[in-house]
Each structure stands twice: as structure tokens, then as C-alpha cells.
């Protein structure tokens, strides 16, 4: 393993460096389209319901071929196959990486340590479906016999962002008679705002935590239990009707006081940021119902199968991953914007931030050697058209190269009134206009031709050449959401494989956690904390002074 060459030492990497210098020294989208107008048709890939247009990228056929050669040299497909087989590709935690097993069909066989994990996946899905059905029908009641009307998911990171994002995305498919809230922040304000108008007798808490040791979640869950018991007269028995747990850690769930009969299990081969299609999705399943949840899993599976079977030239996650590598490693881009033209995808980019940045924010390779190449980009963005009136100025006329994904749907959700549906064309016109303006800009000649005074011409000129991928689907359905998420999961995978990093650990969040625990007594009790640096010690003192 140690003799694996660093990606930058491979001839395929050098070929891309040369290609950048000699063939595409200043790639220009106007020239690329002039040279080959057919790229508008050729640079499109389909997967499931997604039409993915990558024609507005600073690449030509040769760039794409060289990128695919890099993927082959770095054995992206070999690692992919190892992942799908259940090998322990998360090397630092010595774990299999099998979120793809969460959406495998009932009759699939996927083994971890010689045991087929698929029956257990479906057993949990069936239990979730049964429970979700009982909450939705009113059969599952609270301690006082009242029907559950409110569901509060308590979790953080992957135990929050996935279900919260998907709930927003699929709101149109949710049971509108139920209220859903998602609490993650250890700031007590989060739980306060989530519960202040709720009746404890009608409220179900779902405590979502893979490890069941995450301090934010356990603190919030403890406070939620206090709130519940206070509201219901203190009878401890109420906990069993109002608390369920989603976790891999039965022992800690029991320690917390939740009966394992009310626990929905998942496994250590599911990473937190890859987990919302596991038991972690219980709140979503209650919201949209088991059938819709299964449709979403089918959507994930469409892209899984495509990733495994599609040839390299037509493999959507491979292409998107490699385009990101091109900008990140050969054109010096530092960030990547994800700009969904859908209000329902308001949390989509925040979700992708964890997926991408926690996976690929690494600076040592899989063997622990420091990397001398750039790894994961900063991922950011908010839904269009809001961003257009905020930060798009910088994308259009700033000095940075920011590749972006524009995501849109041909149809608005069915339940909008006709008047609101009519706004959809305007929304999508903005998406298409942005893609065009970003790619082709407006030359000084075009500005002058409009009679703009000469001194203003530079200010009104748009350089263009800002690359975008446009992802278009017919409608934002559960299946399409699953397809989109799997597309990004595998894109992130491809990049991690090329960069030769472990995309499945997250040691980088540990230090802050440990230090927070160490610093807390200094805040609460004024305790002397050994090893506190002078700056932090002064901050703690200032804080204590002000909170008196
Ligand atoms: O932030 C680190 C992390 O481990 C994430 O990867 C994870 O999604 C989150 O904390 C929550 O962890 P848990 O589900 O164990 O509470």
C-alpha cells in the first residue's frame, strides 16, 4: 500500500498540468462553443430523472479524456467496487462503508464479515414503517392517550441535516396535520423555540444519534425529557410513549432511559453524513409515509446502479467528481457553489456541506502522508433567486473562479395554486439566464453597442467564463431527491478516491469537542483549566465578568 504513488506524481496528473498550460491556457467558453456547438447536446448525461448538462464547463473532449485517465490510474472504480462489496475502505476507523446497502433490494446479498446485512436493513425499515404508520394513523398515542401531533427530532450533523433537509424538500408530500421540528444546537434557544408552543401530551421526541454520546444531542434530549415530565406531571412512565431513539448504541440508549423496544437500529458501516436513508430518517418517514420513503430509497438505488454500471464517459457521479478535480487542482478554484432553484431545497446546500466538507476536508492521504495537492473545496450556496440579490455579484464580477451547480425542476409542486404555479417559469427563467450570463458574460463591445458611456464600460462588462452544471428534473419527488443525494454522495466519493484520502472518517471534529469539555468548567465554576492559552484564558475571564 505504501508504494502507491501520490496522485500528483502520476503521468496522468502531469498530462493534465500540460494540457492546462498548452491546450487550454485560458479556457474560454465562447471559443469552446464556437469550436464545437454540438457540445450543447454531447455534454449531457442522463441518470434516472436527472438531465445533467455539463456543456458550460471549461473543458473539451481532451480534458475529459485526460480526467478519465486520471480516474483510471487512481483506481476510482476499483475502490467503488470495494465499497459496494463491503470491504473496509474506511481505513482509519477500520470500517466498511455501506450506505448503499440501505437502499438495496430485499433479495440482495451484501456481506460484512461474512454476514448478509440486507435482511437486517429491511427488518428495521419494516419496523420503522409499522411505527410511522401507527403515529400517522393516531394508533400510537402519548402517555395521556392523546394523539401525537408534533414530532421533534433531536440530533446534530448527519443525525439532523439529512432528515431536516429532506423534510423541507418533500414538504408537499408530508402529512400536514403533523408538526415537525428539528433541534440540533446546544444553544437552549433551539429547543425552547421548538417546544414553546407545543403540548407535551401530543409531542414525540426522536433522539437521533449514531453514537448516543454526542454532547449536544444528549444535553438537548435530557432537557426535552425534563420539559416533557414537567408538562405531564412527572410520571417517568411517560418517557416510553414520548421518546424513541435512532442509534447504533443500544447500551447508551438504555443508559439514557429509552427502552430498546423503542429503538431503531443502524450500523457502524453507515457514516453519520450518509445516514438519513437509515433509521435516522424516521422523522421523515412519519412525515411522508413509508411508501414515499421507499420511493426515495428507489431513487437512491437508481443512481447507485448507474454509478456501478455506466461506462466512464456517461457516468454522472464520475463526471461531476472529475470536473470538480479539474477546477480544484488544475484551475485553482477554492470553492464550489450549489444553487438550487427551488424553495423546497432551502437546506440542500447545508446538507451537502457536511457531506462534502466532512468527507473530503483532509490533509493527509490514506496512509497518513501529508498531501501536497488540494483536497475538498468549500461548498456553499443558497436557493435562487435569493442569492442573485446577495452574492452573485461576486461570482459574476469578482476575481474568484467559482464553479456552480444550478438545480431546477420543470414543474412546480402540484399543490400550489394556479397563480403561484405561473411564477415557476419566472423562477426557471432566472436559472437559465444565470447559467448563460455566467458562461458568456457581456463583452465591452456589447456594452458599448448599448450606448453606455465609455467610463462605465469596464464596470458593466461581464467576463463570463464561470462554469456551471445544470441539473434539471421534471419534479421534486421523493425518488428525485434520493437520486440527487446519491449523485452527490458518489461525486464526493470519486473526488476522495482521486485525492487518495479517507472520505469516511472525521477526526477533524474531535479536537474541538474535547476542548469544549475541558473549557466548560472554567466557564461554569471559574475552575483553573490547565493548558488554556493566554488568549482563550482572557476571553473566558471577559465572559465570566460579563455574565455576572
Ligand atoms: O460532527 C461529527 C459527527 O460525528 C458527524 O459525523 C455526525 O453526523 C455528528 O457528529 C453526530 O453524531 P451522532 O449521530 O453520533 O450524534
Cβ of 509 closer than 6 Å to ligand 1, yes or no, is: yes
In the annotation, is 358 catalytic? yes
Q: Does residue 37 sit in helix, strand or coil? A: coil
For residue 235, the Cα-to-chain-centroid distance in whole angstroms is: 39
Cβ of 218 closer than 6 Å to ligand 1, yes or no, is: no
Q: What sign has the CA pseudo-torsion 342, 347, 350, 351? A: negative
Cα(211) to centroid of ligand 1, in Å? 8
Q: What is the per-residue pLDDT for 3?
A: 73
CA angle, 285 then 170 then 348, to 5° = 110
How many other C-beta atoms can be found within 10 angstroms of the C-beta atom of residue 448? 15
* Phi, psi dihedral angles at 403 (to 5 degrees): -65, 145
Name the residue of 206, 267, 272 whose CB sits within 8 Å of the most ligand 1 atoms, as the mutation to test its pocket. Answer: 272
Q: What is the per-residue pLDDT for 529?
A: 81
Q: What is the per-residue pLDDT for 494?
A: 99
Q: What is the per-residue pLDDT for 517?
A: 86
Query: Going edge to edge, which strands form the sheet with 179-183?
Result: 179-183, 150-154, 203-208, 243-247, 263-265
Q: What is the per-residue pLDDT for 527?
A: 80
In the annotation, is 237 catalytic? no
Q: What is the per-residue pLDDT for 48?
A: 98
d(Cα 284, Cα 274) in Å, to the nearest integer? 15
d(Cα 227, Cα 223) in Å, to the nearest integer? 6
Strand partners, 28: none
Q: Please state the ipTM of this predicted complex.
A: 0.98
Residue whose grid cell is 451484501? 110
For residue 115, the Cα-to-chain-centroid distance in whole angstroms is: 29
- Residue 190 has which C-alpha cell? 433551539
Work out which ligand 1 atom sits closest to the CA atom of 247.
14
Q: Which of 46, 230, 513, 517 is catalytic?
A: 513
What is the per-residue burial (b if ≥16 Cβ within 10 Å, else e) of 72-90?
Answer: ebbebbebbeebbebebbb
Counting every residue written for the chain, the total comes to 548
Ligand 1, atom 3: nearest CA belongs to which residue? 157
Q: What is the greatest pairwise CA distance in the chain? A: 78
Count of CA atoms in the C-beta half-sphere (13 A) of 444: 7
- Cβ atoms of 497 and 76 closer than 8 Å: yes
pLDDT per residue of the chain (548 residues) written in tens, 0 to 9: 457 889 999 999 999 999 999 988 888 999 999 999 999 999 999 999 999 999 999 999 999 999 999 999 999 999 999 999 999 999 999 999 999 999 999 999 999 999 999 999 999 999 999 999 999 999 999 999 999 999 999 999 999 999 999 999 999 999 999 999 999 999 999 999 999 999 999 999 999 999 999 999 999 999 999 999 999 999 999 999 999 999 999 999 999 999 999 999 999 999 999 999 999 999 999 999 999 999 999 999 999 999 999 999 999 999 999 999 999 999 999 999 999 999 999 999 999 999 999 999 999 999 999 999 999 999 999 999 999 999 999 999 999 999 999 999 999 999 999 999 999 999 999 999 999 999 999 999 999 999 999 999 999 999 999 999 999 999 999 999 999 999 999 999 999 999 999 999 999 998 888 888 889 988 988 888 888 899 999 999 999 999 88
Ligand 1, atom 16: nearest CA belongs to which residue? 209
Cβ of 249 closer than 6 Å to ligand 1, yes or no, is: no
For residue 331, the Cα-to-chain-centroid distance in whole angstroms is: 24
d(Cα 275, Cα 163) in Å, to the nearest integer? 9
Strand partners, 245: 207, 263
For residue 530, the Cα-to-chain-centroid distance in whole angstroms is: 38
Q: Does residue 109 sit in helix, strand or coil? A: coil
208-244: pLDDT as tens digits: 999 999 999 999 999 999 999 999 999 999 999 999 9
d(Cα 339, Cα 359) in Å, to the nearest integer? 20
Cβ of 214 closer than 6 Å to ligand 1, yes or no, is: yes
How many other C-beta atoms can be found within 10 angstroms of the C-beta atom of residue 504? 24
Q: What is the per-residue pLDDT for 108?
A: 97
Q: Which of 168, 216, 358, 489 is catalytic?
A: 358
- Cβ atoms of 38 and 404 closer than 8 Å: no
In the annotation, is 252 catalytic? no
492-533: pLDDT as tens digits: 999 999 999 999 999 999 888 888 888 998 898 888 888 889
d(Cα 137, Cα 122) in Å, to the nearest integer? 22
* Phi, psi dihedral angles at 143 (to 5 degrees): -60, -35
Cα(158) to centroid of ligand 1, in Å? 6
Spatial CA neighbour of 84 closest among 242, 241, 304: 304
Count of CA atoms in the C-beta half-sphere (13 A) of 546: 6
Work out which ligand 1 atom sits closest to the CA atom of 273.
8
Residue 88: which residues within 8 A CB-CB, separation 6 or more?
94, 95, 96
Q: What sign has the CA pseudo-torsion 85, 90, 93, 98? A: negative
Cβ of 157 closer than 6 Å to ligand 1, yes or no, is: yes
Q: Does residue 309 sit in helix, strand or coil? A: helix
Q: Does residue 44 sit in helix, strand or coil? A: strand
Pairing label, strands 203-208, 378-380: unpaired
Mutual angle of helices 316-325 and 478-499, in 10-degree steps: 50
- Cβ atoms of 439 and 32 closer than 8 Å: no
Of the chain, the end-to-end C-alpha distance in Å amounts to 57
- Cβ atoms of 302 and 483 closer than 8 Å: yes
Amino acid at each position: 500500500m505504501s508504494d502507491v504513488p501520490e496522485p500528483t506524481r502520476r503521468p496522468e496528473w502531469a498530462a493534465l498540468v500540460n494540457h492546462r498550460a498548452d491546450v487550454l491556457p485560458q479556457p474560454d467558453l465562447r471559443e469552446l462553443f464556437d469550436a464545437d456547438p454540438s457540445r450543447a447536446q454531447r455534454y449531457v448525461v442522463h441518470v434516472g430523472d436527472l438531465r445533467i448538462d455539463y456543456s458550460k464547463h471549461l473543458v473539451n473532449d481532451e480534458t475529459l479524456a485526460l480526467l478519465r485517465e486520471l480516474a483510471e490510474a487512481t483506481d476510482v472504480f476499483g475502490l467503488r467496487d470495494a465499497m459496494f462489496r463491503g470491504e473496509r475502505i474506511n481505513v482509519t476507523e477500520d470500517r466498511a462503508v455501506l450506505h448503499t446497502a440501505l437502499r438495496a433490494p430485499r433479495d440482495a446479498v451484501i456481506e460484512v464479515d461474512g454476514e448478509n446485512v440486507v435482511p437486517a436493513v429491511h427488518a428495521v425499515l419494516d419496523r420503522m414503517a409499522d411505527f410511522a404508520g401507527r403515529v400517522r394513523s393516531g394508533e400510537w398515542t402519548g402517555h395521556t392517550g392523546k394523539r401525537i401531533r408534533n414530532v421533534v427530532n433531536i440530533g446534530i450533523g448527519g443525525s439532523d441535516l439529512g432528515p431536516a433537509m429532506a423534510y423541507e424538500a418533500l414538504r408537499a408530500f408530508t402529512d400536514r396535520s403533523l408538526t415537525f421540528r428539528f433541534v440540533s444546537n446546544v444553544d437552549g434557544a433551539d429547543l425552547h423555540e421548538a417546544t414553546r408552543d407545543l403540548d407535551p401530551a401530543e409531542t414525540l421526541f426522536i433522539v437521533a444519534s449514531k453514537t448516543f454520546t454526542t454532547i449536544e444531542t444528549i444535553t438537548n434530549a435530557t432537557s426535552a425529557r425534563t420539559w416533557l415530565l414537567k408538562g405531564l406531571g412527572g410520571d417517568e412512565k411517560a418517557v416510553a410513549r414520548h421518546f424513541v431513539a435512532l442509534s447504533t448504541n443500544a447500551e447508551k440508549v438504555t443508559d439514557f432511559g429509552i427502552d430498546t423496544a423503542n429503538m431503531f437500529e443502524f450500523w457502524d458501516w453507515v457514516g453519520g453524513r450518509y445516514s438519513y436513508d437509515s433509521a435516522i430518517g424516521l422523522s421523515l418517514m412519519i412525515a411522508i409515509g413509508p411508501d414515499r420513503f421507499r420511493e426515495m430509497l428507489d431513487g437512491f438505488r437508481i443512481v447507485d446502479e448507474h454509478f456501478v454500471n455506466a461506462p466512464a464517459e456517461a457516468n454522472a457521479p464520475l463526471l461531476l467528481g472529475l470536473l470538480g478535480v479539474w477546477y480544484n487542482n488544475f484551475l485553482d478554484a477554492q470553492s464550489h457553489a450549489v444553487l438550487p432553484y427551488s424553495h423546497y431545497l432551502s437546506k440542500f446546500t447545508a446538507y451537502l456541506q457536511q457531506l462534502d466538507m466532512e468527507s473530503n476536508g483532509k490533509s493527509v492521504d490514506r496512509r497518513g502522508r501529508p498531501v501536497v495537492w488540494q483536497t475538498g473545496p468549500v461548498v456553499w450556496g443558497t436557493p435562487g433567486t435569493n442569492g442573485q440579490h446577495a452574492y452573485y455579484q461576486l461570482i459574476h464580477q469578482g476575481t474568484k473562479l467559482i464553479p456552480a451547480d444550478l438545480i431546477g425542476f420543470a414543474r412546480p409542486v402540484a399543490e400550489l395554486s394556479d397563480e403561484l404555479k405561473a411564477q415557476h417559469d419566472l423562477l426557471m427563467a432566472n436559472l437559465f439566464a444565470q447559467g448563460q450570463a455566467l458562461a458568456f458574460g457581456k463583452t465591452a463591445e456589447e456594452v458599448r453597442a448599448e450606448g453606455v458611456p465609455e467610463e462605465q464600460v469596464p464596470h458593466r462588462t461581464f467576463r463570463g467564463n464561470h462554469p456551471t452544471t445544470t441539473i434539471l428534473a421534471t419534479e421534486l419527488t421523493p425518488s428525485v431527491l434520493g437520486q440527487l443525494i446519491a449523485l452527490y454522495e458518489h461525486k464526493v466519493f470519486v473526488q476522495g478516491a482521486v485525492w487518495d484520502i479517507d472520505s469516511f472518517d472525521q477526526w477533524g471534529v474531535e479536537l474541538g469537542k474535547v476542548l469544549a469539555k475541558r473549557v466548560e468548567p472554567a466557564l461554569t465554576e471559574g475552575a483553573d483549566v490547565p493548558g488554556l492559552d493566554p488568549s482563550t484564558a482572557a476571553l473566558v475571564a471577559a465572559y465570566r465578568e460579563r455574565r455576572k
